[in-house]
Amino acid sequence: MDFGLDNEQRMILATVREFVTRELLPLEAPAQRAELDGRTLLEPADVRRLQQKARAAGIWGLLTPEEYGGANLGMLMTALISMETSRALIPFSYGGYADNILYMGNAEQKQRYLIPTIEGDRTSCFALTEPDTGSDATNIQMPAVRDGPCWVLNGRKVFITNGLEADFAIVFAVTDKAKGHQGGVTAFLVDRAMGWRSDPIQTMGAWRPAEITFDNVRVPDENILGEVGKGFQLAMAWIGQGRIIIPARAVGQAQRLLEMALEYSRQRIAFGKPIAEYQAIQWMIADSAVEIEQVKWLVLHAAWKVDQGGDARHEASIAKLAGAGMIWRVVDRVMQIHGGMGYTKEMPIERVMRDVRVYRIYEGTDEIQRRSIARNLLKGHAKLGSWG
C-alpha cells in the first residue's frame, strides 16, 4: 500500500483546506448562535450556495465519473477530503453526487433522475428502513401491489436522510413475499408528486431524518430501478460507502477537537500552573491522539482496498466500528478537559457530542458491525493479517 500523494492530489487537498478555512470555519460562531436561538444554521439553499462555491474551486463530484462531470477521485482521496472538511465542526457535504445505484437505471431514468441529481436540480433519498425493520433489512414488509401498469405502495419508511428535502425517493418494497428478500423486493423511483409525504423526526443532533408515508401511491412500471425482485441486491450495493466516510469524518472532527483541547490545556491555569502539566490531562490527550491515528489508518486501508477493486466490506465494518467509538470517547475527553465551559453552548463541544452519537447507530449499528466482523472471520470470508 502506498498512501503517498502525487502533486495533483496535494493541490486538491490544499484547495479543500483553503475552502474550509475561507467558507466553513467562519460559520462555526454563527452555528453556535443559531443553536442558542433554536435555529438551523444551514438550510438547503445555504448548502447549495456553498456547494456552488466549492464547485467553482473544483471540488465537485468527488466519486462521480468524469462522463457525468465529476472528478472521480476515488475512495482514498474522498476519505482524505472528508477528514479535511470535517475539521470545520459544522455539517457539510460537497455537491455533484448521486446515489451509486442510480447509475444502474436505464437511459431514460438517468435523464430524469441521475443527471439532475448530480447537478443539484433534484434531491433523492434512500428509503429502506421501516418502523419495525432497522438493522434487519431482510425483514422489510411494505408491500407494492401490481394494479395494471402500476404498482400501489402503502406503508411507512422511517429515519430517512434527506427525506424532508427530497423530491424523489428510492423506495424498496415487497413485490413477492413468497420469494423472500432475495427475489421478492423491488426498488422504485418514486416522485414526491406521486403522493408520498414526509414528516420530521426530532433528534438530539443535527441529523434531520424523516418519516415517509405512502398511502395508495401509484408508481408506473417505468419507474422500477433495475429488475423486479432484484431490489435487495441494489440496497446492499448502496450500503457500504458510508461505512468509510463516517469514520473519515470522525477523524477530522476528532483532530479539530484535540487541537482545541491542546490549546485550552496550555492556557488554563489551575493550582498555579497550566493544566497541560498534569498527568491526568496528558493521558487524555495521549489516548485521544493514539485512537485518532488508529482510525485514520483503518479508514485509509479500507478506502485503498476499494480503489484497488477489492471487496472492502470487512475493512469498512472495522473502520466504522472503530471510528464511531473513537469520536465519542475523544469528544467526551475534550469536554472533560474544558470542564464547565465545555458543557456550555458557548462552545461547539456539546453540539458535536450530540451530533456524533448517531455514528454508532446509522449505516449499521455497533452491534451489527461486530456481528459482521466476527461472522466474516468465523466463516473464513476474511483472513487475519491479510493485506489484499
How many CB atoms within 10 Å of residue 85? Answer: 22
Say how far apart CA 54 and CA 260 lie, in whole Å: 26
What was the pLDDT predicted at 241? 79
The fold for domain 124-232 equals: Butyryl-CoA Dehydrogenase, subunit A; domain 2 (2.40.110)
- The predicted structure's pLDDT at residue 1: 63
121-138, pLDDT tens digit by residue? 999 999 999 998 877 878
Q: Is 18 designated active site?
A: no
pLDDT tens for each residue of 328-348? 999 999 999 999 999 999 899
- Where is average pLDDT lowest: 5-14, 245-254, 260-269? 5-14
CATH number for domain 7-97, candidates 3.30.2130.10, 3.40.190.290, 1.10.540.10, 3.90.228.20:
1.10.540.10
Instruction: Name every residue whose Cβ is closer than 8 Å to that of residue 52 and which is 6 or more positions away in sequence.
Output: 95, 120
Q: What is the mean pLDDT of the chain?
A: 94
Residue 217 has pLDDT above 80, yes or no: yes
Q: Where do runs of H (alpha helix) occur along the chain?
A: 7-19, 28-37, 44-56, 74-85, 107-109, 115-118, 180-184, 231-238, 242-267, 279-307, 313-338, 340-343, 349-356, 366-378
The strand pair at 185-191 and 144-147 is best described as: unpaired
Confidence of residue 247 (pLDDT cuts 50, 70, 90): very high
Domain ranges of the chain: 7-97, 124-232, 240-378
Euclidean distance between CA atoms 75 and 73, whole angstroms = 7
* Set of cell numbers at residue 120: 443539484
Mean pLDDT of 185-211: 95
29: how many CB neighbours lie within 10 A of its CB?
10
Q: Which of 211, 291, 315, 363 is catalytic?
A: 363
Q: Is the pLDDT of residue 387 over 70?
A: no
Helix H or strand E segment including 314: helix 313-338
Whole-model pTM: value is: 0.94
The fold of the 240-378 domain, in CATH, is Butyryl-CoA Dehydrogenase, subunit A; domain 3 (1.20.140)
**Range in 34-48, 73-87, 246-260, 365-379 with the lowest mean pLDDT:** 34-48
